[in-house]
Chain A
């Protein structure tokens, strides 16, 4: 951050998909040539062990940054949070084309207010860094590097404006990284011509590769969205593999992440608040696709139109089946519905089904 530029971190796709690598490289090169931001590349965020140099680098960042990853923004945000890299989730205008962008303006206002000293409280803030924003961008929403570069330039300009217009100055190197009020000093955009003239000097940065040569093994574990979690403990009751634990304040946490069974999203299905994310699951809602209400993600109607068997399994039935499969694979006995069944859902199953109308109408109203 010594350069005072916005930091952009590219989290690589797992595996070696050449198309994905090419997009990552295109973005990195274009950003580097633009010279307005510092670019770093780390391996796939979700797979990183806590002591990985990539995470240590992220933890060392004192101010705002942008992370581009092959994950839903909400998933990336809570993976970072889990690794004690906290901040306010910045909204990006670069979203899936069909998603609503209505909140963008409000958010910009909030960011500006915050830059002026206001403290916007949002539930997503943890680990103390309420003063900084982390913009999380999903690399799957566009296939061309230019769209990402443009959005990053917009973000860089957005956070640069108030700093410049208020004439504030911040000590850069002397500021301790943990100071909550630290804001990056953003230089005014440098004209391309100038960059060209100065190439070879320190203005046009290089792309910093951080731990990308180390092999990271693929992982599978739940990530808790603490803005949704109600600490109801149904996940810890349901999971029989010892993944969950509680901290000194009795708050739920993912304690033994590597005890989790690859591919099993059962706890996510029993979570009444939809707070458990498996970033690599194929169902968008489980993988952390954004949205708060029932209308925010899509219903899979495949079963109705001829897919799978005809049984309409509830989320709980699916979860029980998935858990039993893992128990048996471990040489343990299947427990079915006998253990750790959420009380809330048990009650729900017995009550008469209410009308679909409310649901459909709520969908309509969105």
Chain B
């Protein structure tokens, strides 16, 4: 993680390392072998989630998934979400450490806190492109959160 970009979520700096790829749904993908990537939450996603304490996968190792297929549930102290596949492909392996104790997501989002390994041929975003996505959607993200505050 030599270089990194920073997206300011208000006062909070979200680190976006340039040594990996991204998707617009706030996951990073780092190649570990050709076509196989480790997938994890970006700092931006973790900031919105805050302390993750529950992660439940509805798929197992080797599952073939479509892009945005539902693959599990996540819950934190402040938020919950369905988990969707970052891209279409094969879920090669789920991170057993995180499956057993999701706190690694908070402790080391770009390292030990990876979620699963995905084999995919999809094209991915660079860190700079992901920064553009963040800048363009920041207003919308706030609206989503605030909209829900008034439900």
Where the two chains meet, the residues of A that have a C-beta atom closer than 8 Å to any C-beta of B are 98, 268-269, 272, 274, 283, 285-286, 294-295, 298-307, 312-318, 345, 353, 355-357, 359-360, 363-364
Contact = CB atoms under 8 A, between A and B. Distances in A.
Contact of A268 (B12, B25, B83, B151): B151
A298 B141 contact: no
Given A98-B53, A283-B151, A312 B84 contact: no
Contacts of A345: 150
Contacts of A295: 78
Contacts of B81: 300-302, 304-305, 307
Given A305-B25, A305-B26, A357-B11, A294 B149 contact: yes
Nearest to B70: A307
Nearest to A319: B151
B140 to A, nearest CB: 4
B44 to A, nearest CB: 9
A274 B148 CA distance: 11
B148 to A, nearest CB: 5
Contacts of A269: 150-151
Nearest to B80: A298
Contact of B142 (A285, A286, A353): A353
Contacts of B49: 301
Contacts of A268: 151
A285 B146 contact: no
A298 B145 contact: no
B84 A300 contact: no
Contacts of B9: 356, 360
A275 B142 CA distance: 23
Contact of A315 (B48, B84, B139, B147): B147
A110 B47 CA distance: 38
6 contacts: A307-B84, A312-B143, A314-B147, A316-B147, A357-B12, A359-B142
B141 A312 contact: yes
A38 to B, nearest CB: 38
Contacts of B12: 357, 360
Contacts of A355: 10
| Residue in A299, A312, A360 whose Cβ sees the most chain B Cβ within 10 Å | A299
B150 A274 contact: yes
A225 to B, nearest CB: 14
B59 interface: no
B46 to A, nearest CB: 11
Contacts of A364: 50
A363 to B, nearest CB: 5
B64 interface: no
B51 to A, nearest CB: 10
B32 interface: no
Contacts of A301: 45, 48-49, 79-81, 144
A148 B47 CA distance: 36
A232 to B, nearest CB: 13
A304 B149 contact: no
Contacts of A359: 142, 145-146, 149
Interface in B106-151: 139-151
Interface string B39-61: 00000010111100100000000
A344 B76 CA distance: 31
A298 B78 CA distance: 5
Given A269-B151, A302-B81, A356-B145, 7 more contacts: A283-B151, A301-B79, A301-B144, A302-B82, A312-B147, A356-B10, A360-B12
Nearest to A357: B10
A360 B47 contact: yes
Contacts of B25: 304-306
A300 B74 CA distance: 10
B114 to A, nearest CB: 15
Contacts of B141: 304, 312, 356
A317 B77 CA distance: 27
A306 B49 CA distance: 15
